[in-house]
Chain A
């Protein structure tokens, strides 16, 4: 499977998204520099760069990790999901700035190659892993390198070109590694700056971030498990997903496909109905019609049917078939087998459930 490379097309929404990201970052970095500059004038500019970029990266990493479960819990967070990869690339660039500055400052102009020094400066303390009394001496630098490497691979493969060419499942696997990056960042921070700065702010904020992310992932997981528990038997019975409720307009129909059947799906008030798409008059596309005076009205010659039972209002006697319909987690499911002709079918509430 392969696809051609296409330059990313930046539409207005992407630009708005990026403006907010850049604006937020400038505020965060500017605030850090201003407060530190005022309270700790002795700190060097290098320290300000190293610390402000890393703090911004860690805050943004938490946001990125929260977007997924938030969007699964509430579709209104979808706008944040759509351009999430921009945040990932931004985190990598912040991390790269942090790492470059730290490497230059702490490892350059010494008696060992700076890139080697990162791993070997106090290499005897790798053995601290097995020694509880010294374990806090374990080097923190390699965890930063690991996190940055993962972020690099993710940033470099974030374009849809790679999604197409690597295949969705491989691409997803790479991106699961963001959790490894998150873990490495936690260790990098806990074994690094938290041992130098003993204030409460660092541990409290990191802890709060961890608890929040854990809770969101747990809640999203549980919600999906509940939905799966409803959908799986539906699918087994032969229900087919036809569209999201949010694609329907109140009082209007949509001609959709459920399995091999053409079905007309209507939203009326807070209920969804599925009926045959073929009008009894001349086979007109019912799904392209509207609801007038409480009746589904065919767009061709205006024949009408009641949504609950497919019957034309008296004195007419035409009837079209209705389908069993369900709404689960904002999606409409239709069983492509007619109810008994003319029988009453209440449709499905848009809030979902298992009616």
Chain B
């Protein structure tokens, strides 16, 4: 029988009780830390991406608004072909900002922040003052290289800004509300397709004939099936969606 009695308002606990309490606490800390290690290690790996938060660079190129807001830049000196365009979004959970609209086909210059994930690159236009039109609109609707007129793809509906690197992880239920906000704010939607061996690709989703894609932003983070024509803009795959529905 233990004859020590604990009185909390006294300055010290009896030595036997204190020793035992210490053992209990150390056991709890050990159990807690082990659980934490297991939980941390069981988190799935995500694609790496970079958001150069706080860094602004100057960009120049042809602004494309349709089918997806993009900036076409000239390839670096001595390189043939077309460099991949950079997708354009606004600050926070927003798409192409108001100040950059209405210049489809114009040569423009502005400052912004890069979001990069592998071949996918995006610019956040966060400096309205820096935006200037160098040569007014010239081009018609640009079309990419058409790969197929009729594809059906099923995957997770993501917002491309978070997915390209602003948030990691940027998929699934925990991120769903954020994806809804981003899509609702005009960030281009993407269809994330995963294969069985850990690979993944994102198709940018656009409407047909330059019309904006008509869809339910609350489908964010859910599995959807898209049908349409697939074209390549540089290395960016864009799906001109004829139909989009929840996958079952």
Contacts and interface: CB of A to CB of B under 8 A. Distances in A.
A201 B39 contact: yes
A344 interface: no
Interface string B158-174: 00000000011101111
A308 interface: no
A42 B21 contact: no
A83 B175 contact: no
Main secondary structure of the interface of A (DSSP, over half): helix
Interface stretch (A231-239, A246-254, A295-303, A316-324): A246-254
Contact of B44 (A41, A140, A197): A197
B217 to A, nearest CB: 9
Interface stretch (A120-128, A147-155, A170-178, A216-224): A120-128
Q: A interface, how many residues as a size bin?
A: 35 or more
A269 to B, nearest CB: 11
Contacts of B171: 196
Contacts of A202: 39, 42
A40 B45 contact: yes
A195 B178 contact: no
Contacts of B1: 245, 270, 350-351
B196 to A, nearest CB: 15
Given A118-B177, A124-B218, A79 B17 contact: yes
B9 to A, nearest CB: 7
Interface residues of B, number: 61
Given A79-B13, A125-B218, A109 B92 contact: yes
A47 B12 CA distance: 41
B41 interface: yes
B102 interface: no
Interface string A1-43: 0000000000111000000100110011001100110011111
Contacts of A137: 222
B8 A110 contact: no
Interface stretch (A100-108, A257-265, A282-290, A331-339): A100-108
A59 B31 CA distance: 10
B93 interface: yes
A121 B180 contact: yes
A28 B32 contact: yes
Contacts of A117: 177, 181
A200 B42 contact: yes
A230 interface: no
Given A27-B29, A107-B177, A44 B37 contact: no
A140 B21 contact: no
B36 A55 contact: yes
B6 interface: yes
A117 B92 CA distance: 15
A109 B91 contact: yes
Nearest to B1: A350
A12 B11 contact: yes
Interface string A52-79: 0001000100010000000000011111
Interface stretch (B46-54, B63-71, B72-80, B144-152): B46-54
Contact of A109 (B29, B49, B93): B93
Given A118-B177, A198-B44, A201-B38, 18 more contacts: A23-B29, A32-B36, A42-B168, A59-B32, A79-B8, A107-B177, A109-B91, A111-B93, A111-B181, A121-B181, A122-B176, A122-B220, A140-B173, A195-B172, A195-B173, A196-B169, A199-B43, A350-B1
Counting from the closest, the 7 A-B pairs by CB-CB distance are A109-B92, A199-B42, A196-B172, A82-B8, A121-B177, A110-B181, A35-B40
Interface of B: 1-6, 8-13, 17-18, 20-21, 24-25, 28-29, 32-33, 35-49, 91-94, 167-169, 171-178, 180-182, 184-185, 218, 220, 222, 248
